[in-house]
Chain A
Amino acid sequence: MFFYSSLTCATDKTELVFFLFKDSVISTPIRLSSDDSLSVLRFYISDLQITKNKKVLWKDSVRHRLIDFEKGSFNQKSARILFPLNVLGDHVSFLLGVGEKTAARGIGEGDLDPIKGMYWTWQSGYINFKMEGVSSNSPSRKNKFLLHLGGYKKTLNTNQKVSLSIRNPDINISFDLNKFLYEINFKERHTIMSPCQAAVDLSLLAKACFYVH
């Protein structure tokens, strides 16, 4: 395991924490093993909500969030989202990606600003999930891999709904990096830069890598 998660409580708010890394000091790129490293890990989550018996108890007031482990939050080791302490749900759900509607619209602001590097320029659309690094399994130049997963149209839609059951009032969501990197066939898929079937497949894999402690 590369990371674990923990909870810190504000007075009247609790936190939804997107993975904390184990090492107290993390420098970019994160070292995975002696041969593998990660330099970018960034993805959008949208429509984050907590439900109980399918009824919405709490909805994130921010529609789209960019979870970015390269800058800023890399050092903070986590992305923390506050929600009221009295919300006791049985599921947390979000869309991995910006969603079809937002993708089809024009240029957004804040986390959706194209200066965040999550917008394709030669072919329009948001990149929902971006991971870059080096893996000894990747046969590309200098063993680099670039996974830019995006695409929102019917057949090549990479927006994935993630729904996880929760038991505690505090929520720690982790992304199982081991599983993700282990299940990718880097020999065939080391560079993805546009909407394609491989991007859809990997977005499904990414969806399956989120888990709650």
Chain B
Amino acid sequence: MFIKGLITTGTIFLLFSFIRIWVLQDRLPEYLPQPFYQIPTNPINNDTVQLGRLLFYDNILSVNNTVSCASCHSPFNAFAHTDHDLSHGVFDSIGTRNAPGLFNLAWQEEFMWDGAIHHIEAQALAPLHDQREMGSSINDLIEKLQKSDFYKVEFLKVYKDSIINSSRALKALAAFELSLVSFDSKYDKMRGGRASFTAQEKAGYVLFKNHCSRCHKEPLFSSNTYEDNGLPIDSLLNDMGREVVSGRKEDRYKFNVPTLRNLSFTYPYMHDGRFKKLRQVLDHYGTIDNQVLMRNSGIKAPIFLSLDDGADLVSFLLTLNDKSFVFNPDNAFPKKLLPKTKDK
């Protein structure tokens, strides 16, 4: 009886793991371009990903143990930050930019609104060291991790020895982030022949291809380029965008084209979070000085959007929401971090 029970649980467990692997592979449609970074397979059984997940949700990363990566990148907002237009860090400090959603990062070569970060493993150094974000340093973090009995065990599990260093911590964080893959929207189902668009969604899709897809390129809905989409300059922030990194005048006010997937979860919009609603975004594109936009971005046809067009476009954009990604418990706060189980 007992043995039989064991065998059944074993089989169920095995089957379950297969399904997970199958589901993961199934999540990657064949119409995707080659990613820049390797996507960890089978995230839930991947120890490195799970270590990264712990770090991502742990306040230990900030100077006074109050802020985690998830404070600004919440799973229920496709890992963006919705309460604030500008990010909010330690000691109630306010940053200068809006926190973008985190998913499909493997297809993004550079990071941040201006592309200042050239490698996913190096990215975490920026919020760690920023006085307005986590106010800490990689040196402090590694020291804290080395003293933590909890992390001693977790690192040992992954690396089979007791070394805790920055490369390991940063690679683990990156692995978790790279495992955040979102390609299960209605749009993806439509492309995979598993769903079809309504008449309005179809009309919106046509408008999208005409006006938007040059910069927000399918299927990632970003072109990984830096563009000026004609937003008026916020004179208080006076964010120069890409010019800060490239030093080139022609890059002034250009920003990394953000993806349009999961927009229902990632509001507010734009690098400074100036728009709370999609409607406002479309109003912007509809009323934009097309001469300026065309000059700055090289787009050929002006964007004219009627009210009906706006509604159609929104209905298309909503097909890019991926609820199964946003509510996937495997990406959520890990129970292991609860005070009961973690060291004091």
A125 to B117, CA, bound (A): 8
CB distance from B159 to the nearest CB of A (A): 12
Q: What string of 1s and 0s marks CB contacts (under 8 Å) between B136-147 and chain A?
A: 001100100000
A8 CB–B CB distance under 8 Å: no
Q: Interface with B: A23-31, A73-81, A99-107, A163-171, which one?
A: A99-107
Of the candidates A104, A114, A125, the one whose C-beta lies within 8 Å of that of B166 is A114
A121 CB–B CB distance under 8 Å: yes
A85 to B246, CA, bound (A): 47
**Which of B118, B120, B165, B245: most chain A CB closer than 10 A?**
B118
A9 to B123, CA, bound (A): 44
Decide: A119 and B116 in contact? CB cutoff 8 A. no
A188 CB–B CB distance under 8 Å: no
CB distance from B249 to the nearest CB of A (A): 14
A113: which B residues are within 8 A, CB to CB? Answer: 165-167
Decide: B118 and A124 in contact? CB cutoff 8 A. yes
Of the candidates B121, B130, B245, the one whose C-beta lies within 8 Å of that of A106 is B121
A122 to B117, CA, bound (A): 7
B207 CB–A CB distance under 8 Å: no
A121 to B122, CA, bound (A): 8
A125: which B residues are within 8 A, CB to CB? Answer: 118
Decide: B120 and A106 in contact? CB cutoff 8 A. yes
A156: which B residues are within 8 A, CB to CB? Answer: 247
A11 CB–B CB distance under 8 Å: no
B174 CB–A CB distance under 8 Å: yes
Q: How many residues of A contact B (CB 8 A)?
A: 18
Q: What string of 1s and 0s marks CB contacts (under 8 Å) between B237-259 and chain A?
A: 00000000101000000000000
A35 CB–B CB distance under 8 Å: no
Q: What string of 1s and 0s marks CB contacts (under 8 Å) between B98-130 and chain A?
A: 000000000000000000111111110110111
A196 CB–B CB distance under 8 Å: yes
CB distance from A127 to the nearest CB of B (A): 13
A105 to B118, CA, bound (A): 9
Decide: B247 and A196 in contact? CB cutoff 8 A. yes
Decide: B167 and A107 in contact? CB cutoff 8 A. yes
CB distance from A64 to the nearest CB of B (A): 13
CB distance from A46 to the nearest CB of B (A): 18
Of all chain A residues, the one with the shortest Cβ separation from B110 is A124
Decide: A106 and B171 in contact? CB cutoff 8 A. yes
B231 CB–A CB distance under 8 Å: no
Instruction: Give the tally of cross-chain contacts (CB within 8 A).
Output: 60
A122: which B residues are within 8 A, CB to CB? Answer: 116, 126, 129-130
Given contacts A123-B245, A124-B117, are A108 and B167 in contact (CB under 8 A)? Answer: yes
Q: How many residues of B contact A (CB 8 A)?
A: 24
Of the candidates A105, A106, A115, A124, the one whose C-beta lies within 8 Å of that of B116 is A124
A109 to B164, CA, bound (A): 11
A105 to B120, CA, bound (A): 10
Decide: A123 and B166 in contact? CB cutoff 8 A. no
B44 CB–A CB distance under 8 Å: no
B282 CB–A CB distance under 8 Å: no
A123: which B residues are within 8 A, CB to CB? Answer: 116-117, 245
A196: which B residues are within 8 A, CB to CB? Answer: 247
Of all chain A residues, the one with the shortest Cβ separation from B117 is A124
B142: which A residues are within 8 A, CB to CB? Answer: 115
Of all chain A residues, the one with the shortest Cβ separation from B247 is A196
Decide: B118 and A114 in contact? CB cutoff 8 A. no
B170 CB–A CB distance under 8 Å: yes
Given contacts A109-B167, A113-B166, A119-B125, are A104 and B247 in contact (CB under 8 A)? Answer: no
A125 to B123, CA, bound (A): 11
B166: which A residues are within 8 A, CB to CB? Answer: 107, 113-115
Q: What string of 1s and 0s marks CB contacts (under 8 Å) between A82-124 and chain B?
A: 0000000000000000000000111111000111000101111
Decide: B170 and A107 in contact? CB cutoff 8 A. yes
A121: which B residues are within 8 A, CB to CB? Answer: 125-126, 128-130, 138
B139: which A residues are within 8 A, CB to CB? Answer: 115
Decide: A107 and B122 in contact? CB cutoff 8 A. yes
Of the candidates A115, A124, A195, the one whose C-beta lies within 8 Å of that of B122 is A124
Decide: A107 and B128 in contact? CB cutoff 8 A. no
Of all chain B residues, the one with the shortest Cβ separation from A122 is B126
B138: which A residues are within 8 A, CB to CB? Answer: 114-115, 121
Q: What string of 1s and 0s marks CB contacts (under 8 Å) between A156-186 and chain B?
A: 1000000000000000000000000000000
CB distance from A40 to the nearest CB of B (A): 16
Q: What string of 1s and 0s marks CB contacts (under 8 Å) between A113-152 and chain B?
A: 1110001011111000000000000000000000000000
CB distance from A7 to the nearest CB of B (A): 35
| A-B contact list, 9 entries, CB within 8 Å | A106-B122, A106-B170, A107-B119, A107-B167, A109-B167, A113-B165, A114-B166, A121-B126, A125-B118
Binding site for A on B (CB under 8 A): 116-123, 125-126, 128-130, 138-139, 142, 165-167, 170-171, 174, 245, 247
Binding site for B on A (CB under 8 A): 104-109, 113-115, 119, 121-125, 156, 195-196
